[in-house]
């Protein structure tokens, strides 16, 4: 991108600063946002690509700055320039330090934390009258992102993440959710068991997705508004402390020889049934 293009961008009302060094403080700080502790201390998280940058802006989130590779600036500067507080044009070497994608689009955004994306679960949340989901230790970021994407598609209004769940602000979660994480948000709690107990006390049916004896067969069980489904850890399922707090169980019928689906697939199948029973179709 040449100097004339940068001048044109400034004339359009936003500034563009060129950064060549991999050691520049902006580049170094952005690179460190891959670490959760640093993200939390700075209150910033990273998004990859044009789509997520525009999703963040349209969702009302504060995009602190956008970093563009030289090739991406030629294509996207006019589209993205006005959506962020600052725009940085990075050399290829500098940009390589802030991306972890194999085929990067050349756009990385730094976005301010927001309660519309993540906040702590509270008793007031138990008054919500829509469908909900509790995730008990879903550690894989790709699974969490996929669950959030399906949750948005199938009308789940609250996703409650217990201890051990992946961080919604992680860039793999954001990528896998395809922007859904910026809209549906997630509630975090130190104890999924406590969340189950609170919801049950407020009149919600708390339903475990588990192949245990006595569980109803999915498709025969009828969901209703206000139900909360519990999905367990990818390897160990739902913890004993959480199972002690659920009132119902369902299992997904499968072909002989296949015992289970992964967490994201199980959640999607069940959420579809919840959506169908809601009468929305």
**pLDDT (tens place) for every residue of the chain, 281 residues total:** 444 445 444 434 567 999 999 999 999 999 999 999 999 999 999 999 999 999 999 999 999 999 999 999 999 998 998 899 999 999 999 999 999 887 779 999 999 999 999 999 999 999 999 999 999 999 999 999 999 999 999 999 999 999 999 999 999 999 999 999 999 989 999 999 999 999 999 999 999 998 777 899 999 999 999 999 999 998 889 999 999 999 999 999 988 877 778 899 999 999 999 999 986 65
CATH of the domain at 135: 3.40.1280.10
Q: Check whether residue 94 and residue 143 sit in a common domain.
A: no
Of the residues 79, 112, 145, the one at which a domain ends: 112
Q: What is the predicted pLDDT for the residue at 4?
A: 40
What does the alpha-carbon distance between residue 238 and residue 229 come to, in Å, rounded to a whole number? Answer: 11
Residues 177 and 253 occupy one common structural domain: yes
What is the 8-class DSSP label of residue 166? Answer: P
What pLDDT, on a 0 to 100 scale, did the predictor assign at position 198? 98
pLDDT for 104 equals: 78
156 and 207 both lie in a single domain: yes
Range of the domain at 171: 118-277
Residues 228 and 154 reside in one and the same domain: yes
Q: Which of 55, 79, 112 is the endpoint of a domain?
A: 112
14: domain CATH number is: 3.30.1330.30
| CA-wise closest residue to 165 among 195, 199, 134, 196 | 134
**Residue 149 is inside which H or E element, if any?**
helix 141-153
In this structure, are 82 and 152 located in the same domain? no
Count of structural domains within the chain? 2
The rounded distance, in Å, linking the Cα atoms of 225 and 204 is 9
Percentages helix, strand, coil for the chain (3-state, rounded to 5) are 40, 20, 40
Do 129 and 95 belong to one domain?
Answer: no
Residues 133 and 238 in one domain: yes
Beta strands in 85-130 (DSSP E): 86-90, 107-112, 118-120
- Both 75 and 150 in a single domain? no
pLDDT at 82: 85
* 254 and 273 share one domain: yes
pTM of structure: 0.91
Do 154 and 132 fall into the same domain? yes
pLDDT of residue 11: 35
Phi and psi at residue 105, to the nearest 5°: -75, -15
pLDDT at 14: 63
Domain boundary among 112, 131, 166: 112
């Amino acid at each position: 991108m040449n100097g004339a293009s940068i001048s044109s961008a400034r004339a359009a009302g936003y500034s563009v600063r060129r950064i060549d060094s991999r050691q520049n403080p902006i580049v170094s700080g952005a690179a460190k946002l891959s670490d959760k502790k640093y993200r939390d201390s700075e209150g910033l998280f990273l998004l990859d690509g044009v789509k997520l940058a525009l999703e963040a802006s349209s969702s009302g989130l504060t995009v602190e700055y956008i970093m563009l590779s030289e090739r991406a600036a030629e294509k996207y500067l006019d589209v993205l320039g006005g959506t962020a507080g600052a725009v940085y044009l990075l050399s290829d070497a500098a940009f390589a330090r802030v991306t972890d994608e194999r085929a990067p689009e050349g756009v990385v955004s730094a976005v301010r934390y927001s309660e519309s994306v993540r906040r702590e679960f509270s008793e007031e949340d138990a008054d919500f009258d829509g469908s909900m989901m509790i995730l008990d230790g879903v550690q894989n970021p790709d699974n969490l992102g996929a669950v959030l994407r399906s949750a948005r598609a199938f009308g789940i209004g609250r996703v409650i993440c217990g201890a051990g769940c992946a961080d919604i602000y992680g860039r793999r979660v954001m990528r896998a959710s395809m922007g859904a994480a910026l809209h549906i948000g997630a509630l975090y709690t130190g104890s999924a068991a406590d969340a189950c107990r609170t919801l049950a006390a407020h009149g919600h049916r708390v339903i475990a997705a588990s192949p245990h004896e006595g569980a109803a067969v999915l498709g025969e069980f009828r969901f209703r508004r206000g139900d909360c489904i519990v999905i367990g850890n990818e390897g160990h399922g739902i913890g004993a402390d959480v199972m002690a707090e659920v009132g119902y169980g369902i299992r997904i019928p499968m072909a002989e020889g296949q015992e289970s689906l992964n967490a994201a697939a199980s959640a999607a199948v069940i959420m579809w049934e919840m959506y169908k029973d809601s009468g929305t179709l």
